[in-house]
Amino acid sequence: MLTEVKKNSKELMADPVFGQLSFDNHEQVVFCSDKDTGLRAIIGIHDTTLGPALGGTRMWAYQNEWEALNDVLRLSRGMTYKSAITGLNLGGGKAVIIGDAKTQKTPELMKKFGEYVHSLSGRYITAEDVGMETSDMDLVREVTPYVTGISEDKGGSGNPSPVTAYGVFMGMKAAAKHKFGTDLLEGKRVFVQGIGHVGEALVENLVEDGAIVTIADINQERLAYVRDKYGVTIYGGNDLYTESMDIYAPCALGATINDDTLSKLQAKVIAGAANNQLAIEDRHGKMLQDKGIVYAPDFLINAGGIINVYAELEGYNKAEIMRKTENIYNTTLEILNHADANGITSNQAALELAKKRIEARKQENKS
């Protein structure tokens, strides 16, 4: 997960927050600490031009605070552009809780975290991310209304991951159309890395479409479960980046597209759910372009989840949510064509569109 964030330690000491490479004029960064519950969390609010900053909470055993801070800065920035490109009236925010979700997550810790979210009076609205369950959001809901992704029996929309997976599937089909001339994934060799909430649902979509699916994960139990449920193959090698494949679907953590993996990557298309897949956006976006690998920008195609949780705020209508999510197919094709026509990377093309919308709102607000 550690990415381009490292500066030499003297610089880090002098400018530990605003001086980070991942700091991108974020509006607010909130450090939360509670001795009794052991909570150590950071909430990042990147931009609220389009609306309140909505983004999930990730719990992860970060190796150090720099890693956690840079993750939240990168993730919250990504949310700004995800909501903007999807046409939602939301800003970008995200939270990270430092710790192992399996052993350190307690109801008291989740509620204390909820109190911090509440203290921001709605500038930040949370939801699930890696290490979180719907039941955790229900605990947060006990102390604040500024949470989405809560259980259906508590008035929420439940786990957004199947909708996210559907959007990724649509984005992948569009990228396949762009690269192979057909969006049929039948017979295509797809490697899904990370078969958690989103990865598993993506596998289901892919199998239904006739793709030849290989799965990889660090969790052996899940691997066996998903293999048995969908009849897919568990990756048995040591380095999947060296394997021959048509499509690589990163659905675990970010920054897996970097100098090291790009020197080996065999895929023709990359389309997955993970946030911040490009370790260094411009550099690795360009390297993909040079290698002729079609990259479906992560923040564009993994927006199904945010579309789903946004509907919790606006009035839930499943058909409308699926229609908007399906439209990721059209937007992805447009972005890929625009990038080719203008000689820019697909990531740049997607960012351009998202920034245009934010800029237009800024102008509206001024007039």
Ligand X SMILES: NC(=O)c1ccc[n+]([C@@H]2O[C@H](COP(=O)([O-])OP(=O)(O)OC[C@H]3O[C@@H](n4cnc5c(N)ncnc54)[C@H](O)[C@@H]3O)[C@@H](O)[C@H]2O)c1
Binding residues: 194-199
The candidate with the shortest Cα–Cα distance to 134, out of 108, 160, 166, 100, is 160
Q: Least separation, in Å, of the C-beta of 277 and ligand X?
A: 9
Residue with smaller CB distance to ligand X, 75 or 366:
75
Residue ranges in 256-285 that form contacts with ligand X under rule CB under 6 A: 273-275
Question: Is the Cβ of residue 51 or residue 196 nearer to ligand X in the bound state?
Answer: 196
Asked if residue 199 binds ligand X (CB under 6 A), the reply is: yes
- The residue among 7 and 222 lying less far from ligand X, judged by its C-beta, is 222
Q: Which residue in 289, 302, 332, 347 binds ligand X (CB under 6 A)?
A: 302
> Kind of pairing, strands 212-216 and 294-295?
unpaired
| Closest residue to bound ligand X by CB | 196
| Residue 48 makes contact with ligand X by CB under 6 A | no
- Token pair 């550690």: residue: 2
When asked if residue 196 is in the footprint of ligand X (CB under 6 A), the reply is yes
Alpha carbons 261 and 207: distance in angstroms, whole number: 26
Cα→Cα distances 34→37, 113, 127, 144, 298, Å? 6, 9, 21, 17, 34
Give the x/- contact pattern for ligand X in 60-89, rule: CB under 6 A: ------------------------------
For residue 251, state whether it binds ligand X (rule: CB under 6 A). yes
Find the binder of ligand X among 195, 213, 271, 311 (CB under 6 A).
195
User: What residue has token string 């390297």?
Assistant: 287
Q: Which of 71, 136, 204, 217 binds ligand X (CB under 6 A)?
A: 217
Q: How far is the CB of 199 from ligand X (least distance, A)?
A: 5
Site string for ligand X, 129-168 (x = CB under 6 A): xxx----------------------------xx--x----
Query: Of 94, 112, 179, 188, which residue is the catalytic one?
Result: 94
| Closer CB to ligand X, 114 or 254, in the complex | 254
What length does the chain have? 367
Binding range to ligand X, per CB under 6 A, among 20-28, 112-120, 250-258, 356-364: 250-258
User: Does residue number 1 form part of the binding site for ligand X (CB under 6 A)?
Assistant: no
CB 211 to ligand X: min, Å: 18
Nearer to ligand X, 113 or 191 (CB): 191
If one asks whether residue 297 binds ligand X (CB under 6 A), the answer comes out as no
Task: Write a three-state SS string for the chain.
Answer: CCCCCCCCHHHHHHCCCCCCCCCCCCCEEEEEEECCCCEEEEEEEEECCCCCEECCEEEECCCCHHHHHHHHHHHHHHHHHHHHHHCCCCEEEEEEEECCCCCCCCHHHHHHHHHHHHHCCCCEEECECCCCCHHHHHHHHCCCCCECCCCHHHCCCCCCHHHHHHHHHHHHHHHHHHHHCCCCCCCCEEEEECCCHHHHHHHHHHHHCCCEEEEECCCHHHHHHHHHHHCCEECCCCCHHHCCCCEEEECCCCCCECHHHHCCCCCCEECCCCCCCECCHHHHHHHHHHHCCEECCHHHHCCHHHHHHHHHHHCCCHHHHHHHHHCHHHHHHHHHHHHHHHCCCHHHHHHHHHHHHHHHHHHHHHC
Considering the rule CB under 6 A, would residue 222 count as an interface residue with ligand X? Answer: yes
Tell me the closest approach of the beta carbon of residue 36 to ligand X, in angstroms.
Answer: 27
x/- map, 304-323, ligand X, by CB under 6 A? -x------------------
Quick one: 290 or 320, whose CB is closer to ligand X?
A: 320
Answer yes or no: 111 catalytic. Answer: no
Whichever of 9 and 75 has its CB closer to ligand X, that residue is 75
- Among residues 62, 137, 76, the alpha carbon closest in space to that of 107 is found at 137
Residues binding ligand X (CB under 6 A): 128-131, 160-161, 164, 193-199, 216-219, 222, 251-253, 273-275, 302, 305
Residues marked as catalytic: 94
